[in-house]
Amino acid sequence: MGSLKKIGVLGGTFDPPHLGHLKLATHFAKLFELDALLLIPSGHPWQKENVITSASVRLRLTEAAAIDLARAFLYLQIPTRVGIDQIEVDRPGPSYAIDTAKELRQRFGAQANLIWLMGADAFTNLPTWKHWQGLLSLMNFAVASRPEHSLHTELPPALAELLAQHQCQSASELENHACGEIFIDETLAVDVSSTALREQLQNPSTYDLATASIPSHALEIITNLGLYR
Ligand SMILES: Nc1ncnc2c1ncn2[C@@H]1O[C@H](COP(=O)(O)OP(=O)(O)OP(=O)(O)O)[C@@H](O)[C@H]1O
Ligand SMILES: O=C(O)c1ccc[n+]([C@@H]2O[C@H](COP(=O)([O-])O)[C@@H](O)[C@H]2O)c1
């Protein structure tokens, strides 16, 4: 099983993309020696009430951030290929991870190691996702810690049970399985969120502070289109 193709999947609203996303992707690309990393912007993030940026603009922002991510990989000598997938933007209706996971599994085949990358907040929210119990029969999960989102105090019982059944103790254990494993990594601590950045971009006194946490190509689009003002 050592030669499984390893594909990392980072889904998100990306409103806007930021250094937290890039560091999460870089961390796991390096750790798992991913062959490819797919950024998948959510077309219709049904749980986020206040998303005002259109899916097509968020797709453009994500494409731009992917250029910065690929540059970072080159600089850090990480051989992972970076791709964008617009399946969730193209698919009508709410964006459900289970539908995306099914499509990816079909596309890459039963042997591929598909790893859904996520932060602690997404993981603790998992029981609210559609058919979430079905996801682990299609994917692995790699969960990274995130400031303000504890993985210890916020765990709903259903998740604690899931972890008891599926948590693996090492990255290599996950690397050897096509799906069904959860790897928790508590070494990341990047204090950035899209919500905080949108607020900072609206305020002239914190605008510059926000720009430091946004990948440069995405920032160029934000500036040119006057987004988040
Ligand atoms: N700073 C971060 N550290 C670790 N993971 C992160 C970080 N920011 C985002 N993620 C993860 O990236 C994925 C996509 O996140 P998303 O696009 O919703 O960004 P966000 O900053 O969480 O947005 P918002 O503030 O609007 O909720 C999720 O799995 C999320 O947990
Ligand atoms: O499948 C679901 O019901 C579901 C509910 C909420 C979020 N997700 C996915 O989780 C990822 C992060 O979502 P978000 O809302 O934190 O940007 C993104 O890929 C979403 O499509 C999925």
Measured from the CB, is residue 53 less than 6 Å from ligand 1? no
User: Residue 167 gets which letter from DSSP?
Assistant: B
63 Cα–ligand 2 center, Å: 18
Residue with tokens 């970076």: 82
Measured from the CB, is residue 10 less than 6 Å from ligand 2? no
Domain 6-190: CATH class, spelled out: alpha beta
- Displacement of CA 157 from its chain's centroid (Å): 24
Report d(CA 6, CA 129) in Å as an integer.
Answer: 24
CA dihedral 103, 221, 19, 90 (to 10 degrees): -10
Residue 2 has pLDDT above 70, yes or no: no
What is the rounded average pLDDT for all residues in the chain? Answer: 95
Measured from the CB, is residue 100 less than 6 Å from ligand 1? no
From the list 24, 6, 11, 141, the residue with the least C-alpha distance to 81 is: 6
Give ipTM to 2 decimals: 0.98
Residue 1 has pLDDT above 50, yes or no: no
pLDDT of residue 132: 97
pLDDT in tens, 175-219: 999 999 999 999 999 999 999 999 999 999 999 999 999 999 999
pLDDT in tens, 47-70: 998 778 999 999 999 999 999 999
- E strands, 13-103, in order: 36-41, 81-84
16 Cα–ligand 2 center, Å: 15
pLDDT in tens, 151-181: 887 688 999 999 999 999 999 999 999 999 9
Alpha carbon of 162 to those of 119, 124, 172: distances in Å? Answer: 17, 11, 20
Measured from the CB, is residue 193 less than 6 Å from ligand 1? yes
Q: Specify the amino acid at residue 33.
A: E
Please name which ligand lies nearest the alpha carbon of 28: 1
Instruction: Calculate mean pLDDT across residues 5-10.
Output: 98
Report d(CA 84, CA 93) in Å as an integer.
Answer: 20
Q: Which atom of ligand 1 is nearest to the CA of 121?
A: 31
